[in-house]
Structure 1
Amino acid sequence: MKNRFKYKAENSPKAWLYLLPALIFILIFNVYPLIRTFTMAMKSNNILNPEFLGLSNFSYVLKDPQFHLAMKNTFIYAITVVPGSIIIAMIIALILYTKIKGVKFFETIFFIPYLTSVIAIGIVFRYLFNGQYGIINFLLEKVGLGPYNFLDDPNYNMPALIVFGIWNSLAFNIIIILAGLRGIDKSYYKIAETFGASKFEQFVKITLPQLNSIMTFLTITSFIGAFKVYSQIFALFNGSAGIGNRLVTAVFYIFNKFYVENRYGQAMAAAVILFIFLLILTFIQRLIFRKLED
């Protein structure tokens, strides 16, 4: 019996030729910077004539109270913004999925923030959060709350950032969840209705399981994005990490060490620690979602 020829793309020279431009781009702009980060993390801060220091930069960063604060702030931001934005996006997507009047218009409105610069949105939110004439304080006063100085009081900097972060994440999450909802076979719901299943039961037994891959993707990418938060803080607090630098995050810490203090080795050591932390976090999340799927 003759063996059938099985085509494999990796064994085709033509396939590698077509992939070559993309591979060169990835090597130059992704792989090389990653290797460079690891090597710089083990050298001194003298960028012209660096000395090999081993793991001393990692030891310094791990003992630095400012790095502890940065990781704490980043963790608080991630565990509040990611679940909050996904839950709110799910509710809005379900409302849009029910085919309300003017659904295309609302889809466009919700997607516009995703196309807008974070810096531009941050400027708008600076006006909204203003302690004297901001509309948020105006609305809070109407219900007997406030006013709160969100931008100039360090106690309210984090809540302001969380609100901004949730709002900034909604557009992308809504579009992805809505696409997932439209990909579910409607016959599932018709059969469920035949057996008298309520809307909530349909959501739990049909919608959520069918959206498992979508929710896995959103959760993992959202957590990675949240732990790399920088531009939102820069835009909202006019280039600073809140009042008294109390809202410093992991990426803000790396930026300050590299560009402000010129401590290149320590900055890269912090970047490597953040990279390893995100790698472990992603691995744990994938394990959890696999168990839930099983």
Structure 2
Amino acid sequence: MTTDATIRVHGLEKSYNDLRVLRGVDFDVAPGSIFALLGSNGAGKTTVVKILATLLGQDAGTATINGFDVATQPQNVRESISLTGQFAAVDEILSGRENLVLVAQLRHLKNPGKIADDLLARFSLTEAGGRKASTYSGGMRRRLDIAMSLIGNPPVIFLDEPTTGLDPQARIEVWQTVKELADNGTTVLLTTQHLDEAEQLADRIAILHQGRIIVNGTLAELKALLPPATVEYVEKQPTLEEVFLAIIGDDSDSVGAHTVRDTTTNSEER
């Protein structure tokens, strides 16, 4: 645990009737970093985000955002965060610019037009700003959704599986947007079930399995949990997928050791 964490979660528990979804979740997120909460469907990722966003109460444990307790200081927490869900929450009847202006007006901010124009430029949507959001591609719509979440400059943003349903190119666009958020000082908590997404984006990765964080570290630290690669000619580092499956286990128990295929050929075979 760090002393200057923007997000701090300790002993978080949540049950739905007899179903224990969270069984004592602990993690910290450093300021201006991207923290990936990685897990399969039903692991409890969205439940964690809902508790942190004050949309759901926990049964036990504590969580603070910017020093504010999510249970006892929910209003302060809400003023510190923004949440982007699994599907873009844009009004398709309005243009991209009108969506942004509307949110700025609802937040009672000055100069909503300038705020909208600045965000359109920041997210490379200026040329599309006058078009209805219904004409946007999946990547453009998601970028607009994230732009709307940033109105008011929240220091913390939660992205709950932000690339759900997007094609590969749109995913890359969203990845770049997320990296830029952290570069500009925003603390990002990202939930995903896509291993490559966590590998591409996160400064730290926590694997949530059966309601608990079973490992938490940098990509290099997670890779170091596996035995060294068997080296014949070229060393092959483990992928995050291999780390993930080795930690949580699978039915075949086929993960846990990895070898390197010899791709060389001798001169007689060429």
- TM-score category (smaller protein): under 0.3
Query: Of the two, which has the highest radius of gyration?
Result: 1
| Structure ranking higher in strand proportion | 2
Compute the TM-score of the two structures, normalised by the length of structure 1.
0.20
| Structure ranking higher in helix proportion | 1
Compute the TM-score of the two structures, normalised by the length of structure 2.
0.22
Name which structure has the greater RCO, CA cutoff 8 Å, separation 6+.
1
